[in-house]
Amino acid sequence: MSLEYLLTIFVICVSPGIGVVYTLSATLGGGMRAGFWAAAGCTITTVIHLVIAMAGLAAILHTSAVIFQTIKYAGVAYLLWTAWSVLKDRGGLSLRPSAPQSRRALVWRGVVLNILNPKLPLFFVAFIPQFVPAGSPISLLFELGLGFTLMTFVVFLGYAALAARGRQHLLHSERAMNWLRRTFAACFAGLGLKLAAESG
């Protein structure tokens, strides 16, 4: 993998999105352990989308407006529900310390949040081929995709570590917690509305 490719995917992964916001909120609510499994769930989704893209299903999403819109609005609804849950400080998305969530629950929520974004497989189809010379074997596509997956996991763990480091200080400030809850809720809602506004 070229340095240009690694720098490009690093910038993409660092840019705040659904996975980053979820990893941060999970870490603040359950500590580094929760952040690790949240990051794992989001990373698993990149593998799923990579397989979908390589299998050509991204082309189906691109040409079938009905399928694309169905998945898109399911994702929008889930993101808005997530925003409401964070704002109300309820359930597994609460930022306050609670009984530890299972690894399965943390991973599953990360998968669902990201799998309902039909833009991801289209992104792989549009982005990765730019770094593949003509005539290259398909194995290079998987290599670049797995590089993206690894970068995603490392960056998300970095976000989790930062959140875990300042977690105790934030938990002791009611004002800071209220601000964070509203910020995360606004981020989830904003991402949902952005997805709704995008066309296939």
pLDDT digits (tens, 9 = 90+) for 44-85: 988 888 887 777 755 666 677 777 677 777 777 777 877 777
Task: Name which residue leads in pLDDT, 132 or 17.
Answer: 17
The pLDDT of residue 40: 94
The pLDDT of residue 107: 92
Task: Name which residue leads in pLDDT, 63 or 31.
Answer: 31
Residues whose CB is less than 8 angstroms from the CB of residue 60 and which lie 6 or more positions away in sequence, other chains included: 67
Average pLDDT over all residues of the chain: 77
Around 65, how many Cα atoms within 13 Å sit in the side-chain half-sphere? 2
Q: How far apart are alpha carbons 169 and 181 in whole angstroms?
A: 15
Q: Is residue 6's pLDDT more than 80?
A: yes
Sign of the C-alpha dihedral, residues 148, 154, 160, 162?
negative
Q: How far apart are alpha carbons 150 and 144 in whole angstroms?
A: 10
Task: Name which residue leads in pLDDT, 104 or 12.
Answer: 104
The pLDDT of residue 157: 93
- Please give the average per-residue pLDDT across 101-122, as a whole number: 81
Task: Name which residue leads in pLDDT, 88 or 44.
Answer: 44
Q: How far apart are alpha carbons 22 and 28 in whole angstroms?
A: 10
Q: How confident is the model at residue 41 (pLDDT cuts 50, 70, 90)?
A: very high
Buried b (16+ CB within 10 A) or exposed e, 135-150: eeeeeebeebbebbbe
* 149 DSSP 8-state letter: H
Q: Are 105 and 151 in contact (CB under 8 A)?
A: no
The pLDDT of residue 14: 78
Q: How far apart are alpha carbons 35 and 31 in whole angstroms?
A: 6
- What is the dihedral angle through the alpha carbons of 23, 29, 31, 35, rounded to the nearest 10 degrees? -20
Tokens of 83: 């925003």
Q: How many residues does the chain have?
A: 200
pLDDT digits (tens, 9 = 90+) for 163-181: 888 777 766 667 776 776 7
Q: Is residue 141's pLDDT more than 60?
A: yes
The pLDDT of residue 93: 55
Task: Name which residue leads in pLDDT, 3 or 123.
Answer: 3
Burial of 103 (0-12, 13-18, 19+ CB in 10 A): middle
Tokens of 39: 């990051």
pTM: 0.70
The pLDDT of residue 80: 81
Q: How far apart are alpha carbons 154 and 165 in whole angstroms?
A: 17
